[in-house]
Amino acid sequence: RRNATERENQILVDSNPIQSNPRRRSRSNPPEMKFFSAFDPWPVFFRREWGRTWPFLAGFAVTGALITKMTVGFTKEDLKNSKFVQAHKKK
């Protein structure tokens, strides 16, 4: 009788549409996250956000280049005579 009961239970499990559908996930039994660290989200993020962030990045690069170009020619004498440097000089 035990074999018949096991077969009946297996038939019920196989005929249950919720459990037999491999694409449907149970909320009470979530799948394990075994290989979660294998997924790299950065390419997806950059592809999605590039349209919004490129103006900011370009502006930051241009501003940095202008500040670098303007300040690279300063000499010690220029810095010593600068009102800004004297006002913010560390004591």
Q: What is the pLDDT of residues 19-76, one digit of tens each?
A: 555 565 556 665 566 655 667 778 888 888 989 999 999 999 999 999 999 989 889 8
More confident residue, 73 or 11: 73
Q: Report helix, strand and coil shares of the chain as percent, to nearest 5.
A: 70, 0, 30
- What is the reported pTM? 0.44
Q: What is the pLDDT of residue 17?
A: 54
Residue 79 binned pLDDT confidence (cut-offs 50, 70, 90): confident
Q: What is the pLDDT of residue 12?
A: 65
Q: Are 64 and 56 in contact (CB under 8 A)?
A: no
